[in-house]
Structure 1
Amino acid sequence: MATTLNATATGRGVDAAAAAARRVIAALVRAGDISGADMTAVADRLNAIADELEAAAPGLRERLVNMWRGDGTTRHDPVTGPENPLAPPLQYTGRPDGSIEAVVTLDLPYQGPPSCVHGGVSALLLDHTLGVANAWSGPSGMTAELTLRYHRLTPLFEPLTVTGRQVAVDGSKIRTVGSISAGGRTCVTAEGLFIAKHPPRPR
């Protein structure tokens, strides 16, 4: 039996707009300055959209309160959030053994070395994955230490399997491990120490 652990995109409203923005970001990076696109006109249209959104946006405090309502499954984070155009986004599945897993294919916006995932992006994905693994299988908390080992380059443009699993709890200290693999080969492994505390939610 498997369970989905993150917010599901609705396909409409802000989720649809964020998905469209992901397309724009990827298309911009792919087009670069060697395409035949009129980038000045593109910039004018994008700035007009930004002007519209900024004019309609609520105050920052109101938005923060709105973001953190609900049961803790966020819609805005930069890894799984359907409202966040920076998120790939990952879709986790929780398993009875306490582990979680997601499969994602990353495009050029996440590039570091040629045709490979930036190491900092790998760290972002694993930090978040380990945190979700904690929430799935036991106590959760804030990252205190995150140690990564880069075994080989992590490829873009092909499916990556991202995993996490809580391995030990000692009082307020939580230890969790995870990995990113491609084609059955491990690319990055992570060990995390978390402290069982959470900052207060905006109210």
Structure 2
Amino acid sequence: MELSAPVRGTGADAAAAAARRVIAGLMRAGDISGADMDEIAGRLNAIADDLDATAPELQERMVDMWRGDGRTRHDAVAGTENPLAPPLDYAPGPDGSITAEVVLDLPYQGPPGCVHGGISALILDHTLGVANGWAGVSGMTAELTLRYRHTTPLFEPLTVTGRQVSVDGSKIRTVGSISAGGRECVTAEGLFIAKHPPRPR
């Protein structure tokens, strides 16, 4: 199976896309491959040393991460500059929902050949939050209820959806799901509170 992912943009986004390939490649290779893992570890540590040597102070980086219009490139689900993110790319639907398509590889495995339930929770928590933002009223997660209806497969296209259902004062209710092959694997109902922590300055 092809390990490459589309490179989005340049700079940190492109480097993160390359890192995703490395992470997936390491998972697929393991110790049973013919690769010299000690040599690879040395090369990767040299890259990490270069990054550590040029990184700004943490507070400066935090300010930079949260600068802008509210869309974050660093988050763990849709962040194009985060190598841990798949990343998801959302599109709006005519009913006010949002949808993303994604294929998850071995780094996200729980049961054999299936997505870890905690990864599904992470994806849905974020998706519901993004759906709130697109609907115009967003906030912090107060409660997230998940129903695991079927195992969620790796290596297959998954459809992730989210839709804001209601706003009652500061309380926001949102629903979402992860589906494979037209079958719901995980569904979510979320309660959000319309408040946000201050951004780093």
| TM-score, normalized by the shorter chain, greater than 0.5 | yes
1:134 aligns with 2:108: no
Identity rate of aligned residues, in percent? 80
Partners in 2 of 1:10 and 1:154 — Cα distance? Answer: 26
Say if 1:12 and 1:138 are closer, same or farther in 2 by CA, change over 3 A.
closer
1:144 aligns with 2:134: no
| Greater RCO, 1 or 2 (C-alpha within 8 Å, sep 6+) | 1
Partners in 2 of 1:103 and 1:191 — Cα distance? Answer: 20
Partners in 2 of 1:64 and 1:20 — Cα distance? Answer: 23
- Deviations along 1:69-107, whole A, 9 cap, x unmatched? 000010100101110000100000012321000000000
SS at match of 1:32: helix
Answer with 110-119 or 89-98: which moved more.
Answer: 89-98
8 Å CA contact retained: 2:132, 2:138: yes
SS at match of 1:180: strand
The aligned amino acid for 2:162 is G
The structural deviation recorded for 1:12 is: 1.4
- Deviations along 1:103-156, whole A, 9 cap, x unmatched? 000000000000000000000000000000001113100000001000010000
SS at match of 2:31: coil
Match of 2:41 in 1: 43
Partners in 2 of 1:21 and 1:195 — Cα distance? Answer: 35
Partners in 2 of 1:114 and 1:25 — Cα distance? Answer: 18
* 1:19-34 alignment runs, 5 A limit: 19-34=17-32
- Please list every run of 5 or more consecutive structure 2 residues that lacks an aligned counterpart in the other structure: 1-6
- Please list every run of 5 or more consecutive structure 1 residues that lacks an aligned counterpart in the other structure: 1-8
Alignment root-mean-square deviation, CA: 0.8
TM-score if structure 1 supplies the norm length?
A: 0.95
Match of 2:95 in 1: 97
- Deviations along 1:31-84, whole A, 9 cap, x unmatched? 011001000000000000000000000000000000000000101001011100
Match of 1:6 in 2: none
The aligned amino acid for 1:47 is N
**2:162 aligned to which of 154, 161, 164:** 164
SS at match of 1:66: helix
8 Å CA contact retained: 2:167, 2:173: yes
TM-score if structure 2 supplies the norm length?
A: 0.95
Say if 1:155 and 1:10 are closer, same or farther in 2 by CA, change over 3 A.
closer
* 1:111-122 alignment runs, 5 A limit: 111-122=109-120
SS at match of 2:88: coil
